[in-house]
Chains A and B, each alone.
Chain A
């Protein structure tokens, strides 16, 4: 729409400007026209970027538990959404070459925490759409191959009960317990 309007308004303003400028600096009408078009495109793209790219994506898959609003991931959720791959990659090199096996940014811990269960209370693999990693990667059209080598299911000894599991405790309850601990701890100090 804006470009159509521009074309209609073009002849008048174009003649005015060209008569003034052309004498002194020898700017051809064609280059002036090109500049106008480019600037229009530029402003247009900024406007659209504002509305589409910089706003949070809609209908993203929701993470189950341990990454809810009440119980955050190892970093703020916004940071994790954009940078989780960098954390994991950094940790991967540290572990592979230096033998550093902290769990904070390890892929193993991602899987152990973000496990999802199917209706039979079995942990789903990355081939299932419900899988935490796959759900989002499919949405974002990302094709990563972590799980060609890494197991996409959690380690049974480490796994915590999740929604759908009979022993699951709501993370909100856990949070309240934690907060209670913190407040009592703070009071005693």
Chain B
């Protein structure tokens, strides 16, 4: 905190043009350093691990590639990991219980091919849930994650209506013993956060790490050197309902 304060004070003293020049230099230097480090570091871990006091950056856009050919039918490791990791407790009422990620089975009627895939918030670039939210609770972070600010969510559920992926759930019942990192309560809408508490600390979402088939690849779409971007360059992938031009961050391979 102290560090931040002194930093901003310093910036105020510097003339505007000088400041801009400095920032430009920092950016260039940062990019150069990133390029130099890229081959050795970035493949190993989630890129751009930020420190706790840093704000998220627009230069990152988190995304995911799901290989449906690897996704086993009947396997719900990702769903279980999500429920466990985020403390999503159900009441044995599937109609109203909260679910952030669900397994969907689709069948091509002409060929009879059956595909199983996990479906969660697609973290759109142009999220309709954000467009319709009357309070601004539904928002997109700079790094591309679409979240609900439950402090200002009034539980109107417009976003649930707007989402073409049926990705959001409403919390119908009182929640107790939540996970400390995933606060959730009755009367608000919620959805997959890409495990934002983990992302902020440079870790991957639990579903991606839990997938035994290695079917979920998580990474930075904006970073050309990330494992995700490289895989996307090589394989053909599709966005669900690409016709709506929402540009989801989650893409599917083998559909």
Contacts and interface: CB of A to CB of B under 8 A. Distances in A.
A-B complex is real: yes
Report whether over half of chain A's contact residues are helix, strand or loop; otherwise say mixed: loop
Q: Which of B180, B186, B196, B199 has the most CB of A within 10 A?
A: B180
Given A102-B53, A151-B183, A97 B188 contact: no
A102 B52 contact: yes
Interface string A76-108: 000000000000000010101111111110001
A146 to B, nearest CB: 9
A36 B149 CA distance: 53
A144 to B, nearest CB: 12
A143 interface: no
Contacts of B149: 96-97
A87 to B, nearest CB: 10
Report whether over half of chain B's contact residues are helix, strand or loop; otherwise say mixed: loop
Contacts of A101: 52, 197, 200-201
A44 interface: no
Kindly state the interface size class of chain B when it binds its partner: 20 to 34
B52 A98 contact: no
Contacts, number: 58
Interface in B44-60: 50, 52-56
A99 B151 contact: no
Nearest to A157: B180
B177 interface: yes
Given A101-B200, A102-B53, A148-B185, A96 B147 contact: yes
A9 interface: no
Interface in A112-171: 145, 148-151, 153-155
A97 B183 contact: no
A73 to B, nearest CB: 14
Contacts of B184: 149
B52 A151 contact: no
Interface of B: 1, 50, 52-56, 139, 141-143, 147, 149-151, 174-175, 177-180, 183-186, 188, 196-197, 199-201
8 interchain residue pairs of minimum CB distance: A149-B185, A98-B55, A99-B56, A149-B183, A148-B185, A155-B180, A150-B183, A99-B200
17 contacts: A92-B151, A96-B151, A98-B142, A99-B54, A99-B143, A99-B196, A99-B199, A100-B53, A101-B197, A102-B1, A108-B180, A111-B180, A148-B186, A149-B178, A149-B188, A150-B180, A154-B180
